[in-house]
Amino acid sequence: MATSEFWQRVSSTPHSSTQEWNDAGSANHQRTARGSAGMWMTLDALTVIGAAFVAAFIETHANPLIELRAFVHGRLFHGQSTALLTALLLGFTATLILISRSLHLYTPTRLTNHLHEQRLSAQACLTSGLLLTGTLYLIRGEAVPRGIVLMTVVLLSVSLSLRRFVFRALLYQRFERGMNTRNVIIVGTGAEAHALRHHLQSIRQLGYIFKGFVQVPGVDTQLAGTTGDVLGSLDSLFDHARKHFVDEIFFASPAERGVIKNVLEQARSNGIDLRVVPEMYDGLAWNSTIEYIGQFPTIPLHRGHVPEVELILKRALDILIAFAALVILSPVLLAIAIAVKFDSPGPILYSSERIGKKARVFKCFKFRTMVRDADRRRAEIMHMNERQGILFKISDDPRITKVGTFLRKYSLDELPQFFNVLRGDMSVVGPRPPIASEVRQYNLSHLRRLDVTPGITGLWQVQARQDPSFDSYISLDVAYIENWSVWLDIKIILRTIGVVFAGTGA
């Protein structure tokens, strides 16, 4: 279910130089770009090495282990030293990376066209191959078979193209499910703002989700049909950005530099990307970097730091742990399923709508621990709630079955959520996914916990599980988000094991 649908349900100065604009947020921008580019460069280097060894194996028909041993001892090709072959391989790899970088193949995937990317990828491989062939001619490296060189270039071209194609296909698939998308607010209601909106919505593979317009008082003239899409005025921009989990703000309306500077400072403090349409700000366009969103030119003034490499490691760790847990615990899962089935009438699994990252609604799975009509009977026992504020919890809930009591004590009812982890709806570690009735009562500051993917376990579960305070619940989730690292996830997972065996679940 889309985020906008969810919200419909739950809520009725001084002149600045060009250099100042270009420097705005440059440290975060460069750090993010280096991390992402470095990851793709490393993958390219590994692909080159793999293609070279596969080509040599095919050409020489040798055992791969024997081939590797021959390379180490300098006997792979007669008359060629290991040092020279290593230098050629490293030079070819460095050349490919430099050419790929000059062709902007390491820019964010959403900013480039698929066919254009494939053409540039082939161009980088062929150019690097020609330079390698020329180098072999100049150093008189006749002992290195040209067939291996040609096959290496072909295998490399195919491998890189296939890898980029698969990555895009998986990314687009996630976009269709409402995952990894970027929510956008456009400042302005004029013709340029509407053109930008149409562009973002017409090219679905960009992964942008339009959330609404924000009007600049005294500047914008509202077009017909815009009224329902205007969220408010510029003064409430960041309140709406918080409510709609906005990742980027596009300025498509002329405004004074002081206004832009103020918005830029708030964008930095809120970690929101800021772009302007160059036609609206001729002064900013001088010596500024133009970045195309599809075919629409923009100038990025701020880009928040996104730890892409760390997030990929987190996702890899999630998949590894979830898959291993489901395989190793499959006999336990089967035994629990049988026990639940025979203990009380009703389905084995209980699924409920939960609110995930950026208010995305998903089905969360658990083993059923309550009687079949538990949801209907909730209103009858609200007076027994032992939690403070928004949370709802009863230690001796009369709706819980006998098997359910045991499952909850050791948190075994949550094991099916590893399927949610594999689907990408949840992570192993993160804030617990709330239900819609809880989120209806959130204020804007509470929405911070929905900025990340929810988890099976988290800092609150291992540190203050029995604390009834909603403020403590929120503060621990926010502390986790602001101090997150892969190592922190590992420590929480290890502590969770102890908590589970201690049987502290309710």
Give the mean model confidence (pLDDT) for residues 289-301: 82
Please tell me the distance from the alpha carbon of residue 44 to that of residue 91, in angstroms, as a whole number.
Answer: 13
Render pLDDT for 343-373 as a digit per residue (tens, 0 to 9): 888 899 999 999 999 999 999 999 998 888 7
Which of these ranges, 75-89, 259-273, 466-480, has the smallest mean pLDDT? 75-89
Q: Which of 191, 99, 492 is nearest to 317 (CA)?
A: 492
Task: Name the E strands within 256-318.
Answer: 273-276, 291-293, 296-302
Strands 361-367 and 349-355: antiparallel
The class of domain 181-305 in CATH terms is alpha beta
Please tell me the distance from the alpha carbon of residue 296 to that of residue 252, in angstroms, as a whole number.
Answer: 12
pLDDT of residue 387 exceeding 80, the answer is: no
| Identity of the residue numbered 375 | D
Q: Identify the pLDDT of residue 257.
A: 79
Q: Domain-by-domain residue ranges, the chain?
A: 28-176, 181-305, 309-502
Q: pLDDT band at residue 413, thresholds of 50, 70 and 90? A: very high
Please tell me the distance from the alpha carbon of residue 140 to that of residue 125, in angstroms, as a whole number.
Answer: 22
Q: Identify the pLDDT of residue 338.
A: 94
Contact 354, 454 (CB under 8 A): yes
Please tell me the distance from the alpha carbon of residue 312 to that of residue 65, in angstroms, as a whole number.
Answer: 31
Please tell me the distance from the alpha carbon of residue 181 to that of residue 168, in angstroms, as a whole number.
Answer: 13
Q: Identify the pLDDT of residue 409.
A: 86
Residue 480 has a CB neighbour count (10 Å cut-off) of 22
Q: Identify the pLDDT of residue 500.
A: 83
Contact 146, 133 (CB under 8 A): yes
- The model's pTM: 0.77
Render pLDDT for 137-185 as a digit per residue (tens, 0 to 9): 787 766 677 778 888 899 999 999 999 999 888 888 888 888 888 999 9
